[in-house]
Amino acid sequence: MNIRLALRASSIGVVVGLSLSTAVASAAPSDFTWPLQPKPRIVTPFDRPDQNWLPGHRGVDLAADEGRPVLAVADGTVVFAGSVAGKPVVSVDHPGGLRSTYEPVTASVTAGTRVRRGTVLGSLASGHDGCSSTCLHWGIRRGREYLDPTALVRTRPIRLKPVDGPSR
């Protein structure tokens, strides 16, 4: 997805441009929300490796207390709720070919369950490697390509509005 931001201040002739390119799905950001509420602190950011076989961080780690409810980030269908390599995991398929994953989560849903954005999927368990305290590893992928999940929940762009009064 390409995001372009242009600010124009015609009275002083300034134009500022910004272009970001991030691999995300063709989904409206308003369709997605954070898997923890309120918005959590990111402990470890997304770090896509240059090649699929290289090390990287294919998701984000979010700080939270053990037992905290973990929410579906968008409407979809639970496709997995169980253990992977001894860790409790929940995966949800969303329209547009996206799959969200949450680990470690003790599931309160089962495979085949249809969920809406904000539905409780389970509770956060302890034991995610790489976090000194309890945290949720949240990932998004399309097919085999891992994407930055925070790109789906970024805040709306800042919009400048005219201010009454003398121009500067």
**Domains parsed from the chain with CATH numbers:** 23-152 (2.70.70.10)
Q: Is the pLDDT of residue 10 over 60?
A: no
What is the rounded average pLDDT for all residues in the chain? 78
Q: Is the pLDDT of residue 4 over 60?
A: no
Q: Can you tell me the distance from the alpha carbon of 28 to that of 96, in angstroms, rounded to the nearest whole number?
A: 11
Helices (H) and strands (E) in the chain, counts: 0, 13
pLDDT in tens, 67-118: 999 999 999 999 999 999 899 999 999 999 999 999 999 999 999 999 999 9
pLDDT in tens, 128-144: 666 667 899 999 999 88
Measured over the CA atoms of residue 10, residue 14, residue 15 and residue 18, the dihedral's sign is: negative
Half-sphere exposure of 78 (CA within 13 A, CB side): 22
